[in-house]
Structure 1
């Protein structure tokens, strides 16, 4: 009897040890156990909902794994992530736009290589480029954006206005709107990037699609080229003509100050990304039927075309190299950028998919997608393409141009001097 008890006790110990070892292996592999991943993003409305549903699918397929989803405000986000990266406490998965901003973290060894994880054939090649450095991929894209001029269709119809072909046409529209006590353009430029759209478009329309690449690659014209100076002059003409809200350089985009002027029909136009559609559906669904868009018009005598567009890739999801659960984090990125997520984003948020074979049911998205397909040139956002120091110089000087505190010549010269320091 004693031997039998000892044998049973021994078997219990062996089984317990094996179970512990087994669970230990599982936990170590990151496939189960009490594991929590952190995801930082800046999406709102239907887009945020699509991400949360992707997270739920991921959690359902990974027993014992939870994802803490943290939505950051757009404007403070870059600073918060930089602080978290520098302090060694980054989120496991984070939103980016690719370009110079992401490359800064890649160069400092803070981003995991996804080259062996994601199937690049699932994505549009142009969407992968901003997160590819030295032949390696550091981010998976979900959507792409273009920046049109959004306008109130009912307002245009009421005052007999047509979509402009030239910048002169646009100025005439502005004068008509002002004659009826309506602001031509709604702009909240405290965060600087909304005003950058005007500068990028005007510079491209005047100097042509090769202007930025020549300045960025240090091959030909620089950031002090006359096209940039002329772009600044046209912006200051708009400011002096009272085409923007009072105090626009201090207004906050994140709190919806510029959009509210559109919804209240106190402004007729706004230059914003294609995310404006999803934001409107979340903020003021009834306004959607009044929302139309056209591409920024050509400038007489300029080298650019009104089929050239400003745009970018966002969100791009990357994994922090210091993540303790890299394998799981990479799997989360795959779910966040799955066809199912992209499909929902396209049809509920008006997003152009960076994922192939997505079918568009939404008429707005079909129109936006068609514009992207017909575009002759895509100018990526300066503040995401340029190295951080140069991007900051661009944003600061552009805001100063809008504020009339710096001449276009001074602004162009300052950016070019910084480019000589930063670009090799």
Structure 2
């Protein structure tokens, strides 16, 4: 049994260039050990600086890193693991995908290692280990940042129409009509990437039916997707599509290109539902827009008559690094050394400070003072508090579910947003995947 989402009372992605794969657990980059990582700034630079510092300090234990775009990575890593060609250090979001790796004996059991290195385990927030744990065993090191899904909005455009952030679904629907009437796209969406559309379902399911609805799906309960509240959530999603809430042509926009983010800071769209990592991306690409105070944010609104707490959140508690069981013993030892090193390792103080400076919330323990001192304190403390105070933190569905279910989910989401299937057909299709 996978011990993870929903995380009740949780304490606190990423989600360039790509390089070639390699062989025998050492794929990609130059080094005795290897890692594949996501391209895109600012995290690509943070990781590059970290690996450079590590290699300079550890010339006999070097790590080579290769970068891939998000969607390309998800495909590449599954193929590589299936062929026994994974890099030494496997980037993951935990959950059902990681559980499938563990079931196939493709990743190293780190339970005893963490028991022997309590200082490493205690350096990150305890709740983040849930998505790294399968049948009571830990298979990955949680690190990097809390990835909360939230709304962003363009304050200039809101001021232009005299609007305030919505606190209910009815207010959101009214705003859609207001912005359409002003000739402004209400909501940016990178629909081609599919997982960005999934965020809408995660929140509608929660706000309408509460976290128990997805918990039943996660637990493999027969017919769980056909729960009446599930159908209501699916219908609410299609109602937004039919109302013209999303920018025209959203089906061809990709998240990897950051085109959806650009719609916000170029005044083309008023709102966007996306991950907390997007703040650092917009800050990197449009620093003046952020420094001028034009970027705002708010929690997903309540749905009238819904059962879900408005404080519930969705996203990913952390990012997760596993170690390939196909790597050599030397490579595995290098990875563990990299995990444990406080000076130049994966989650050193320099790395934590770099994440905060970029506008992200690391999952390191005891960093409240660092967040408060940041120039982005308002946003960082919003995210930190939202996750700390959340009665439920549901992990992103495409990571929580098995690989088979996750692919079926994304395919059906694509059809749901294109209006080519009904909510009932969506539920029927997904019910057929339960247990796979």
Report the TM-score when normalising by structure 1: 0.87
| Structure 2 residue aligned with 1:128 | 129
Deviation at 1:392, TM superposition (A): 1.6
Instruction: Structure 1 unaligned segments of length 5 or more: list them.
Output: 1-33
- Determine the structure 2 residue equivalent to 1:99: 95
Aligned-residue offset at 1:260: 2.0
Change (3 A) 1:59 1:116: farther
Contact kept in structure 1, 2:415 and 2:421, CA below 8 Å:
yes
Q: How many residue pairs were aligned? A: 387
The root-mean-square deviation of aligned C-alpha atoms, in Å, is 1.8
Higher-Rg member (1/2): 1
Alignment partner for residue 424 of structure 2, among 404, 409, 412? 409
The alignment status of 1:357 with 2:361, answered yes or no, reads no
Q: Which structure has greater helix proportion?
A: 1
Query: What does the per-residue CA deviation read over 1:351-386, in whole Å, with 9 as the maximum and x for residues that have no partner?
Result: 222221222123121221112122222111111101
Residue 117 to residue 62, structure 1, CA distance change in 2 (3 Å): farther
2:352 paired residue number = 342
Tell me which residue corresponds to 1:292.
296
Task: Map Cα deviations across residues 156-180 of structure 1 (whole Å, 9 max, x no partner).
Answer: 1232111211100011111111111
Equivalent residue in structure 1 for 2:383, among 341, 345, 368:
368
Instruction: Note if contact 1:318-1:333 (Cα within 8 Å) is conserved in structure 2.
Output: no
Matched, 1:326 2:336: no
- What is residue 231 of structure 2 aligned with on the other side? 229
Deviation at 1:60, TM superposition (A): 2.7
What is the match of residue 88 of structure 1? 84
Matches within 5 A, 1:17-28: none
Structure-2 change in CA distance of 1:220 and 1:294 (3 Å): farther
CA distance in 1, matches of 2:82, 2:430: 27
TM-score by length of 2: 0.85
Matches within 5 A, 1:34-45: 36-45=32-41
Matched-pair contact (CA < 8 Å) for 2:399–2:406: yes
| CA deviation profile, 1:287-328 (whole Å, cap 9, x unmatched) | 223111111111111101221111213421111111121100
Partner of 1:64, secondary structure, is coil
Residue 260 of structure 1 aligns to a residue whose secondary structure is: helix
| Partner SS for 1:286 | helix
**Residue correspondence of structure 1 range 186-335 to structure 2 within 5 A:** 186-218=188-220, 222-288=224-290, 289-324=293-328, 325-334=331-340, 335=345
Question: Structure 2: any 5+ residue segments left out of the alignment?
Answer: 1-29, 115-119
Bigger mean CA offset, 263-272 vs 310-319: 310-319
Deviates more, 1:195-204 or 1:360-369: 360-369
Separation (CA, whole Å) in 1 of partners of 2:170 and 2:231: 18
- Secondary structure of 2:63's counterpart equals strand
